[in-house]
Amino acid sequence: MQVLTHSFADGLRWLALSGRFYAARPMPLIGLGIGFLLLQLLALLLGVLFFVPLSSALSLSSDVLAGLPRALLLPFLCFGLLCLCRDMDLQRASEPARLLSELPARWPMAAAGLMFFVLSELIALLILAPHREQWAAVMSAVSAGKPVPMDAFEPVAGALALSTALDLPVAVLFAGLPPLIGWLRLPVGKALFFALVAVWRNWRAIAALVLMLLVLAVCSALVCVLVLGALGLPPALLALLLVLGVFLPMHIAAYYIAVREIFPLPHVDVRR
């Protein structure tokens, strides 16, 4: 198994390549982004409806198991996105039979999602532990559809930001598991090892790509809010259109480009 090493400048080049990839195939990528988001929202709804009561029955915090269905589904979705992007890159039609035949046994992908869920929950638990009562009040208000009490939210806002920041490297690490499990049929442990090697060797390139994607998203959103505010138009609608039409598809394209260049797999390595 070969893992290539890239520099900070390569991360910027990936962003340019992902922009070209998106510009050449905007509508398919927008469709993938919307479908990806809807399936995640469906999994999250399933978690709220069925796993929140299970959390309460197990005497756990009401939100502990809410994200479990989404975490289990996420590796399958990521692998599907990579397969569809590969077909676009090879300029061939996507055949459901071929995509399903490439999907390995359910257990390795589900195990990767479970590991991601456990690690993310541990990070959140450790960071939010000093604010258990305030977090419980916030989650109770959200579950009941009531306004979030600001006196409870303010103490946990910093902890939530820290938890999200620490969760980002975990998400980057586990993003490398679906292609290794799906295309190379590696067991979860070996795939995790090679994903760690890939992140260690390419942390500069990955950091450059993630940082520039975040900067691009934030700057674009701020400009849109200011312009729409000056015109007296609702900024929320355009923000939603930006997420569905630009940011999410660009992230999908960048994910595919990074995987394609870090893991030079014969059926993925398409250089243009």
Instruction: Quote the distance between the C-alpha of residue 64 and its chain's center.
Output: 19
Lowest mean pLDDT, pick from 51-55, 149-153, 266-270 = 266-270
Residue 140: per-residue pLDDT:
66
Give per-residue pLDDT as tens, 111-122. Answer: 999 999 888 888
Residue 43: pLDDT band (50, 70, 90) is: confident
Closest CA to 178 of 259, 233, 245: 259
Count of residues in the chain: 272
Per-residue pLDDT, averaged over 54-59, amounts to 58
The answer on pLDDT for 268 being more than 60 is no
Helix 8-24 with 68-89: angle, nearest 10 deg: 80
- Residue from 171, 153, 179 nearest 210 by CA: 171
Say how many CA atoms lie within 13 Å of 72 toward its Cβ.
13
Q: Decide if 60 contacts 66 (C-beta within 8 A).
A: no
pLDDT-above-90 percentage for the chain: 31
Percent of the chain with pLDDT over 70: 75
- Please count the other Cβ atoms lying within 10 Å of the Cβ belonging to residue 121: 18
pLDDT at residue 62 in the model: 55
* Mean of pLDDT over the chain: 81
129-170 tens-digit pLDDT: 776 677 666 666 665 666 666 666 666 777 777 777 788 888
Q: What is the pLDDT of residue 216?
A: 83
For the stretch 197-242, pLDDT in tens is 999 999 999 999 999 988 888 877 777 777 766 766 666 666 667 7
Instruction: Tell me what the mean pLDDT of segment 164-191 comes to.
Output: 88
Mean pLDDT of 181-207: 92
Distance CA(200)–CA(117), nearest Å, equals 22
